[in-house]
Amino acid sequence: MPQVGCFDTAFHHGLAPSVSCFTSPRSFDKHGIRRYGFHSLSFEFVARRLREISPELAGKRTVVAHLGNGASLCAMHDGASIDTTMGLTPLDGLMMGTRCGAIDPGVLLYLQQGLGMSVGEVEHVLYQQSGLLGVSGLSGDMRVLLASDDPRATEAVDLFTFRIAREIAAMANSLAGLDCLVFTGGISEHAREVRQNICQRLEWLGVEIDRAANDRTDMCIHTERSHVDIRVIAANEEVMIARNCQAALHDPLIASAVRGFTRQKL
């Protein structure tokens, strides 16, 4: 049976060295240590969806916010990735459900050298006990936090939206402007409070959200005065996988290899 691999880093393959390089020694390059980015299937789906909605919209300087239990941003222009928040692993970048996102490396050294934690224990903290869960001490589920009156829940949500808005501004810098902001992923699609809070923090960039449209979760949630289009697009990574598989199996070189493999098996 022919098998197709759809890599969740593929959409970011063309990142410029200024974006993909770490500031670690060059000798680490041979070990593949660089920023790869993730959520490719989601971002590629959004890029195609924007082209379907409007070719003009697809050509705009766009930041896509994939917000769920895992979260990352992608700055894209003409359907190509220009910058993204995740790095070598899906641990980097934004604060997430249970993942820490960007953190001072000195914290990790202190956990090991100062508190005597093992590598495995540190890894568990970073992946399973941090993020919304770690800050709130209650849950990594945004629905639970938004429904809670515990001040720690409020603080966790506030920190989440603050970090996202800050990184959207950084993505806008990579694009030399911002024309379109797209929300996708579970939190983006269902948490209107999160969308509103993020957009309010970005008003200085010309982002103006239509509260009524946002409450209804319309596809377009910007006001007529907004300098930035604001869209909500439901994520569909499964469709993107299916499309990529179809494209791969219809590629002449791959199709020829599959036929040859099939004849050998027969």
227 domain residue, yes or no? yes
Q: What CATH number should be reported for the domain holding residue 234?
A: 3.30.420.40
Give CA separation, 117 vs 29, 101, 134, in Å.
Answer: 28, 20, 17
The pLDDT score that the predictor gives to residue 252 is: 79
Give pLDDT tens digits for 93-127.
999 999 999 999 999 999 999 999 999 999 999 99
Residue 38 counted as domain residue: yes
Q: Which domain holds residue 210?
A: 10-265
Structural domain includes residue 4? no
Catalytic residue among 8, 83, 179, 229: 8
Tell me, what's the pLDDT at 266?
37
8 belongs to the catalytic site: yes
Q: What is the pLDDT of residue 249?
A: 86
Domain assignment present for 221 = yes
In the prediction, which pLDDT does 78 show?
94
Low-confidence residues of the chain: pLDDT under 50: 261-262, 265-266
Yes or no: say if 127 and 91 are a contact pair by the CB < 8 Å rule: yes
Q: What domain count does the chain have?
A: 1
3: in domain: no
Amino acid, single-letter form, for residue 174 = S
